[in-house]
Amino acid sequence: MLAKMKDRRTIRKYTTQDISDSLLNELLEVATRASNTGNMQLYSVVVTRDQANKEKLAPAHFNQPMVKTAPVVLTFCADANRFVKWAEQRKAVPGFDNLQTFMAATIDAMLFAQCFCTAAEERGLGLCYLGTTTYNADKIIEALSLPRLVVPIVTVTVGYPEEIPEQPERLPLEAVVHQETYQDYVPESIDTLYRDKEALEANIRFVQENKKETLAQVFTDIRYTKANNEYFSEVFLKVLREQGFMK
């Protein structure tokens, strides 16, 4: 199984084969075994199978085709709503409308999501995480009717793989692991750690296609621009306030 995890790759193209309810539920059931904060399970997942509903979600994900072509779209949410409703119904006075609860719920949602994904891949499914969920959280809240104290964190499209793409590179392990304390990077270590990534044929082509001078510029000027990051940060902060997590 470690071999499978090590060999995994993101799958963006799916066959027309559907995922049965029983398999999906089995995988979600496994995922509920993930660790979570104080066993409060501060998460929810919304399952989208209906084509019309996928089309409602698609613009929020900048119309990435996987949203419409995957048999199942899962929106994993930080959710304090259920717990708070339970508490209020049991003569308890919760103070969960704040940033710490949001962080705990985000962590819970991510552990649940990732356990689902590992289990799904083990069963031969392929999947793709969409990072667009926090960008357009407001639109997703509307599309899925998410109430107060629920915020979508990440979306995963799932299906049977139509193709197995090449596995993308990763930085060498020492780039992300620090022993005992954080050893900050210096120009020499940055050069060393990013050398192989920058030398990859695919990345060199990527820089040329985007008419940039360096690979980093493709990220800062095109993919994750300052203007977009700042605009969507404001949107997300507004979402946190409106959903009741910024008391």
Question: In DSSP terms, which residues pair with 43 in a beta bridge?
Answer: 78
CB within 8 Å of 247: residues ≥ 6 apart: 97, 98
State yes or no: residue 219 binds a second copy (CB under 8 A): yes
Q: Give dist(CA 199, CA 210) in Å, integer.
A: 16
Stretch that binds a second copy, among 12-20, 63-71, 105-113, 158-166 (CB under 8 A): 105-113
Task: Provide the minimum distance between the beta carbon of 70 and a second copy in the complex, in angstroms, as a whole number.
Answer: 15
**Angle between the 201-209 and 187-199 helix axes, to the nearest 10 degrees?**
90
Stretch that binds a second copy, among 6-14, 61-69, 158-166 (CB under 8 A): 6-14
- Candidate residues 63, 65, 213, 241; the one interacting with a second copy per rule CB under 8 A: 213
Site for a second copy in 152-181 (CB under 8 A): 153-154, 168-171, 173, 175-181
DSSP 130-147: EGGGTTTHHHHHHHHT--
DSSP H/E element including 150: strand 150-159
Q: Contact 169/200 with Cβ under 8 angstroms?
A: yes
Residues that bind a second copy (rule: CB under 8 A) add up to a total of 118
Site for a second copy in 41-80 (CB under 8 A): 41, 43-50, 53, 77, 79
Between strands 126-130 and 72-79, the pairing is unpaired
Stretch that binds a second copy, among 12-20, 62-70, 82-90, 157-165 (CB under 8 A): 82-90
Nearer CB in complex with a second copy: 16/93: 93
State yes or no: residue 29 binds a second copy (CB under 8 A): yes
Q: Contact 46/155 with Cβ under 8 angstroms?
A: no
State yes or no: residue 105 binds a second copy (CB under 8 A): no
Task: Provide the minimum distance between the beta carbon of 222 and a second copy in the complex, in angstroms, as a whole number.
Answer: 11
Query: Which amino acid, one-letter code, is at 60?
Result: A
- Candidate residues 18, 55, 122, 242; the one interacting with a second copy per rule CB under 8 A: 122
Q: Report phi then psi at 76, rounded to 5.
A: -90, 130
DSSP H/E element including 45: strand 43-48
State yes or no: residue 192 binds a second copy (CB under 8 A): no
State yes or no: residue 202 binds a second copy (CB under 8 A): no
- Candidate residues 15, 17, 63, 229; the one interacting with a second copy per rule CB under 8 A: 229
